[in-house]
Amino acid sequence: MTQAVAILTSGGDAPGMNAAIRAATRVGIAEGLQVYGVSRGFQGLIDDAIVPLTARSVSNIIHQGGTFLRTARSQEFMTLEGQQKAAAHLTKRGITGLIAIGGDGTFHGCEALSKVWSGQVIGVPGTIDNDLYGSDYTIGFDTAINTVLEAIDRLRDTAESHERFFLVEVMGRWAGYIALAATVAGGAEQVILPKTDTDISKIAHAMDEGRRLGKTSGIVVVSEQGSEGAVYEIAKQMEKNAQGRYRITVLGHVQRGGSPTAVDRILATKLGAYAVKLIRQEQNAVMAGEMAGKLVAVPLVETWTRKEAKPLDDFLLKILPALAM
């Protein structure tokens, strides 16, 4: 049975990662495990940047955004040589369990590591994008949409004061969870989602119709289409088919930062602790998630191969036209 476990964070940071690290560390110690922290994700495994963690190591971090272990994307780890080097450093220290907090890129890395290392690998979903199958919500999502909501509320003040219309781009890669949630909660007039047959001219005409009916300001939430900046081309298309100009706001990386909400702190604590329980149960290559209020262990490979089984809220999509009146 595993006697030593390492914890790392990888990929984009997400509010609540520290809460997950804290829970995994303290529950691990309570379970009699030696706990290690890995600095800078998979690159830290390659560089042997592995240090023991104690209960005091994770004091006063639950409220902090980001990750105190730091995070990075490692090109070297994408090679077989890099993966073998990482495995050798884990084995050298007698570590036979790894808890990796991150998104699908992190979990792809875990799968690769499991092919060259005999230890247990448990994933914890830490990404603001909420784009992993196996957990209704991922760590950081709630904080991110609240950050976006605050920005939309502030922009609404300016839009109303100056009688202007805004396009607001939010993160989410190829998933539209942040955009849809922010649109509904922020009372935005329209949303442009990725991987949908969106008719930009139709949206532009709908905004013009709002003007005709007396609206003097409005907000269109635009989900990034895989990368930041797609909103500029969308603005050109909107203005080509609309009567007025649109101001552009790209929220960018501000969505990843900030103190995590209570929702994210609690979710991260549960999933971090549950990851340790899965280690103790000798589970391997699974993600600790929560679905319909129950903790679940989902095969890592399903977290990215079954994304279609986690669609956007169809009810919200259907009522958006009515909400935009």
Q: pLDDT band for 2, please (50, 70, 90 cuts).
A: low
Do 141-257 and 4-140+260-308 fall under one CATH topology?
yes
Range 257-280 average pLDDT: 98
* pLDDT, position 229: 79
Average pLDDT value for residue range 16-40: 98
- Residue ranges covered by each domain of the chain: 4-140+260-308, 141-257
Question: Residue 158 — very low, low, confident or very high, per pLDDT cuts 50/70/90?
Answer: very high
Residue 216's contacts (CB-CB under 8 Å, 6 or more residues apart) are 160, 163
* Mean pLDDT in residue range 44-51: 98
Which of 109-113, 150-154, 196-200, 249-253 shows the lowest per-residue confidence on average (mean pLDDT)? 196-200
Ramachandran region, residue 32 (left: φ > 0; alpha: ψ -120 to 50; beta: rest): left
The pLDDT of residue 318 is above 70: yes
pLDDT of residue 268 exceeding 60, the answer is yes
The stretch 198-204 carries a mean pLDDT of 88
Q: How far apart are CA 52 and CA 283, in angstroms?
A: 23
> Is residue 4's pLDDT more than 60?
yes
Give per-residue burial for 240-263: e unless 16+ CB within 10 Å, then b: ebbeeebeebbbeeebbebebbee
> Which residues have CB under 8 Å from 291's CB, separation 6+?
134, 135, 136
- pLDDT above 80 for 243: no
Integer CA distances (angstroms), 172 to 193, 225, 226, 291, 300, in order: 10, 8, 8, 21, 20
CATH architecture assigned to 4-140+260-308 = 3-Layer(aba) Sandwich (3.40)
Which tokens hold the place of 226?
């895989």
C-alpha angle with apex 288: 285 to 292, nearest 5 degrees? 135
What's the chain's average pLDDT?
A: 95
As given in the structure block, the two tokens for residue 9 are 């964070």
Judged against a pLDDT cut of 80, whether residue 273 lies above it is answered with yes
Pairing of strands 286-291, 294-299: antiparallel
For the 141-257 domain, the top CATH level (class) is alpha beta
Share of the chain above pLDDT 90, in %: 86
- Of 314, 322, 312, 313, nearest to 206 by C-alpha is 322
Catalytic residue among 13, 104, 129, 142: 129
The residue-averaged pLDDT of 303-320 equals 95
State yes or no: is 48 an active-site residue. no
d(CA 265, CA 56): 18
pLDDT tens, position by position, 53-101: 999 999 999 999 999 999 998 999 999 999 999 999 999 999 999 999 9
Can you name the residues that pair with 14 across neighbouring β-strands?
none
Tokens encoding 166? 């805004």
Strands 4-9, 97-102: pairing kind:
parallel
pLDDT higher than threshold 60 for residue 1: no
